[in-house]
Amino acid sequence: MNCMGSSNLPGHAKIGALFAFNSTVGKLVQQAIQLAVRDVNTAMDVLNGTKLEMEMFDSGCNPVQGAASAVELVKRSVLAIVGPQSSAVAQFVAHIGSATNVPLVSFGATDPNLSEMQYPFFIRVVPSDRLQMEAVAAFIANYGWKEAVVFHMDDDYGMHGASSLSNSLQARGSKVIDKVALIPGIDKDGIDTQLIRLAERQTRVFVLHTPPDVGRLILQEAYFHDMLESNYAWIVTDLMSNSLTDSELDTNTVKYTQGLIGVRRFVPQTSELGIFMSEWNNSSQSGLLENQINPYALYAYDAVWAIARALDSYLHDRQAVVFQEPIKLPTQSGGEADLSQLKIFQGGNKLRAHILDTKFKGTSGHIKFDNTGDLEGAAFEFVNMVGKSPHAVGYWWTNGVGVSLTPPIDQAFSSSNAAYNDEAFLSSTQANSTKMPIIWPGKVTDAPRGWVLPKNGHRLKIGVPLKAGYTQIVGVSNDTTTNSTSVHGFCISVFQAALNYLPYAVPYDFVLVGDGVTTPTYNDLVSSLAEQKYDAIVGDVSILAERLKIVDFTQPYIESGLVVLVPVKDKKENNPWAFLRPFTSVMWFTVLVSFLFTGTVIWILEHKVNEEFRGPPKAQFITVLTFIFSTLFFSQKEETRSFFGRIVLLIWLFVILIINSSYTASLTSILTVEQLAPSIKGLESLLQTSFPIGYQTGSFVYDYLRNLNVNPLRLKAYNSREDSIKALTDGPSRGGVAAIVEELPYIQLLQSVNCKKFIIAGQEFTKSGWGFAFPRGSDITSDMSQAILHMSETGELERIRTYWFQELACDDSSKDPTVQSNQLDIMSFWGLFLISGVASIICVLIHLLSLYNNYRKHQQAEGSTITVSKRFSEHFKQFIVYADKAKHEEKKVADGKGADISLTPSMTTKV
């Protein structure tokens, strides 16, 4: 409330109402409006001191009568109008509202197009049909139905509703395939014609957006054409579903409505509704339950309150109620048109703004408008007709998550953030399907598939590539006795087996595509399917992104990545340096350095105690070299005598053992397996050469290689396995090819002839599969995919594959000999070298340490004045002199001449 005293408000404020007095809804609306006016006038917080006066005019159901009544109301200086009831009248009358600045607050006009800004003075408390169609589309999407037919009256209202449904379905990946526009007054025959036509189509989902009388006629005729049987889904919008009540259905009509789904505007059970119902029941003879009230009566009640609240704000703003003099509209005859008597409400714009700002909790839920004058947020319920009563089975509301089994709480859809939100609607399409407890036509509980293969429809025309080779995949045989042709092969067997899993029969005929001399181009085959020359393509058709743009594919029934097949090359005679190949150059270098290092270590450890390592430097050098390299064959002549020398030698012999056996194994493998390796190691190395490349005629491989900038002159097409084998065997020098780029299933057949002659170079470089192609949006695709997955899970697919690819005789080891390097590198051996090296170093260090200790003892025994503080170089020089002397003494001991210095026992013992 504002601060202005109520005494300043005018004593009365007049508004009008426009509806069809004689319609079922109109009668309820009249009662609701009277109740609302009474409640407003007794309310203390709205228009206190101002009496709301109501003038009601009959609009009938016809725009002209509606317009005449609206003109009459405006002439009587109403400030706003409740109504009109129907969209047809609203479109006419909304212009009068705009011309005179009189706001119209409708409770029943739901045409989506009335939201347009061309009707600024048109406001409604009833949710637009745009939202109702979202609810219908959500229901259809919930069952995964891809297509629907909508019946509507051939007028603006009907067409706008059907278009709205079409848009909503499209956003969910489904579509309206037929909008059946019914002329007013259409009879039984007219409806029969439409139904007979539709029965021949495959769609089994029908939406009736028609008035109850026309809807009933359609259902009655559908019943006689067996279209209310199982597998059909019939959905009626609230135009008709509000009439599906006990009181309106006689026993005869009931049989046409069994299994029907009705969409209704949902009104939450609130305290406001409870109060309204008790008032209603007190003021009328007919006691109604809350769920029996027609929502339109509630919207009408709320419309009066919306206007009353806005008027209250308007008058408290000290706005005058002034009408401008009519605008002169001269006629051709020189007089003035009737409409020029209409006065213009000067404060109309302000009142309109106040109405748009109105927010309150009404009997139908929260009332709040968006800037187009539409109610924000809406909820709908789905009812299922079983017997004479509609049963609520599910709900949908704005900003919900698709179809729900439980009703929304009242704020959920009508709160301020419940505005229409595309993202929320789209997310609702991703929600899991909700299983509503519905009994469908035919008294079945399993939801209809939504489509069938038409009873009277044509047999499916299935295109099959007539291949000029690889007949295990798709082949043809001619029976001369019966003069008939039959199609067989892996792809055909998979297709026929998959059909057995479909819950319906699929009559079909195979149509061979191609001349049998050259395999047809698969891209053309797919294009002709998109051009509707065929109903499906069954064959070795790869699922490619480009093809998916124009047709649908089932799940792949076999993997078909691309690989490079090359002939095996014998390199034995060609490579005199094959013996070097087991080791990498680093490894060779490391081995050599290790030999020299270990030889040196042995020499250090031995030459003092072992005369075999003595003599002139040249002789010692040769001895060490021959000694260490002989260890390669464990045939060294010299004995090691020192303890540490023996340790080092033992470890070194172990290293040699490992290196030797690894070298032998690697060389053997290189000379046996790897000698088969081709110079082409995969796609990349093939592309770097200029050799000719083979591919299968008609395959996408040609485009693939061209996209990789392969010169077309390098590409050679082959039709059959035999041609490809010959080309590979001949090689480029004899007019053949260096490699074949092909899909795996063909390669398996190619290799099956002589798997030891050809190998796959490198890895599979594309991932794809073969699938059956159907026109875009075809319903059979998902059923076939399901069948293929089932066959894959049960192993049936593999059994069919084994049967047709049984020529594969090669053992597993040679089936897929991909090219790999067998060279050994340092990484496999560094541990070995480390052990040997560290052991050698430790032995040398211990040896030197023990020599040094002896030298120290000798110095002390001689009372030498050499102290540790002496410079190391001096000390070291003396040590060398000592070591030489020790060597000399040692020699003398060996020669039996006695020693001048004492030596450790270990150094004198021969090892």
Contacts with ligand GLY, residue ranges (CB under 6 A): 522, 540-542, 699-700, 743
Answer for the pair 356, 307: CB distance below 8 angstroms, yes or no: no
Give whichever of 769 and 837 is closer to ligand GLY, judged by the CB atom.
Answer: 769
d(CA 225, CA 227): 5
b/e per residue 97-131 (b: at least 16 CB within 10 A): bbebbbbbbbbbbbbbbbbeeebbbbbbbbbbbbb
- As measured in angstroms, the least distance from the Cβ of 514 to ligand GLY is 13
d(CA 591, CA 585): 10
- As measured in angstroms, the least distance from the Cβ of 442 to ligand GLY is 42
Strand partners, 57: 18
- As measured in angstroms, the least distance from the Cβ of 155 to ligand GLY is 50
Task: Please choose, from the candidates 799, 797, 775, 779, the residue with its C-alpha nearest in 3D space to the C-alpha of residue 788.
Answer: 797
The stretches of 177-270 forming alpha helices (DSSP H) are: 188-199, 212-224, 238-241, 251-257
- As measured in angstroms, the least distance from the Cβ of 234 to ligand GLY is 42
- As measured in angstroms, the least distance from the Cβ of 769 to ligand GLY is 10
Report whether the peptide linkage leading into residue 184 is cis, meaning its omega lies within 30 degrees of zero: no
Answer for the pair 157, 88: CB distance below 8 angstroms, yes or no: yes
Give whichever of 522 and 804 is closer to ligand GLY, judged by the CB atom.
Answer: 522
Give whichever of 139 and 770 is closer to ligand GLY, judged by the CB atom.
Answer: 770
- As measured in angstroms, the least distance from the Cβ of 474 to ligand GLY is 10
Strands (E), 26-121: 51-58, 81-82, 104-106
DSSP string covering 799-849, please?
A: HHHHHHTTT--S-HHHHS-------B-GGGTHHHHHHHHHHHHHHHHHHHH
Give whichever of 200 and 524 is closer to ligand GLY, judged by the CB atom.
Answer: 524
b/e per residue 631-640 (b: at least 16 CB within 10 A): beeeebebeb
Give whichever of 39 and 540 is closer to ligand GLY, judged by the CB atom.
Answer: 540
Answer for the pair 732, 738: CB distance below 8 angstroms, yes or no: yes
Give the pair of three-digit tokens for residue 384.
């299922």
Give whichever of 535 and 540 is closer to ligand GLY, judged by the CB atom.
Answer: 540
- As measured in angstroms, the least distance from the Cβ of 249 to ligand GLY is 57
- As measured in angstroms, the least distance from the Cβ of 547 to ligand GLY is 8
Give whichever of 110 and 519 is closer to ligand GLY, judged by the CB atom.
Answer: 519
- As measured in angstroms, the least distance from the Cβ of 702 to ligand GLY is 9
Give whichever of 83 and 539 is closer to ligand GLY, judged by the CB atom.
Answer: 539
Give whichever of 342 and 747 is closer to ligand GLY, judged by the CB atom.
Answer: 747
> Which residues 6+ apart lie within 8 Å of 587 measured at CB?
824, 825, 826, 829
Task: Please choose, from the candidates 93, 79, 87, the residue with its C-alpha nearest in 3D space to the C-alpha of residue 13.
Answer: 79
Q: Give the other-Cβ count within 10 Å of 677's Cβ.
A: 21
- As measured in angstroms, the least distance from the Cβ of 243 to ligand GLY is 56
Give whichever of 207 and 541 is closer to ligand GLY, judged by the CB atom.
Answer: 541
Three-state DSSP at 128 gives coil
- As measured in angstroms, the least distance from the Cβ of 377 to ligand GLY is 51
Longest dimension (CA), the chain: 161
Give whichever of 312 and 540 is closer to ligand GLY, judged by the CB atom.
Answer: 540
Q: What is the DSSP letter of 901?
A: S
Distance of CA 328 to the CA centre of its chain: 63
Give whichever of 169 and 525 is closer to ligand GLY, judged by the CB atom.
Answer: 525
Distance of CA 134 to the CA centre of its chain: 23
Task: Please choose, from the candidates 851, 842, 852, 858, the residue with its C-alpha nearest in 3D space to the C-alpha of residue 906.
Answer: 851
Give, for 768, the enclosing helix (H) or strand (E): none
- As measured in angstroms, the least distance from the Cβ of 538 to ligand GLY is 12
Task: Round the CA-based radius of gyration of the chain to a whole number and report it.
Answer: 48
Give whichever of 623 and 699 is closer to ligand GLY, judged by the CB atom.
Answer: 699
- As measured in angstroms, the least distance from the Cβ of 552 to ligand GLY is 15
Give whichever of 317 and 546 is closer to ligand GLY, judged by the CB atom.
Answer: 546
> Which residues 6+ apart lie within 8 Å of 454 measured at CB?
199, 200, 201, 202
Residue type present at position 618:
K
Give whichever of 168 and 542 is closer to ligand GLY, judged by the CB atom.
Answer: 542
- As measured in angstroms, the least distance from the Cβ of 770 to ligand GLY is 7
Give, for 477, the enclosing helix (H) or strand (E): strand 475-479
d(CA 459, CA 279): 64
Answer for the pair 296, 241: CB distance below 8 angstroms, yes or no: no
Tally: H helices and E strands in the chain: 30, 30
Give whichever of 15 and 537 is closer to ligand GLY, judged by the CB atom.
Answer: 537
Give whichever of 107 and 700 is closer to ligand GLY, judged by the CB atom.
Answer: 700
Residue type present at position 462:
I
- As measured in angstroms, the least distance from the Cβ of 541 to ligand GLY is 5
Q: Give the other-Cβ count within 10 Å of 154's Cβ.
A: 13
Give whichever of 542 and 598 is closer to ligand GLY, judged by the CB atom.
Answer: 542
d(CA 612, CA 614): 6
- As measured in angstroms, the least distance from the Cβ of 521 to ligand GLY is 8
- As measured in angstroms, the least distance from the Cβ of 712 to ligand GLY is 17
Burial of 546 (0-12, 13-18, 19+ CB in 10 A): exposed
- As measured in angstroms, the least distance from the Cβ of 715 to ligand GLY is 14
CA atoms within 13 A of residue 182's CA, in its CB half-sphere: 27
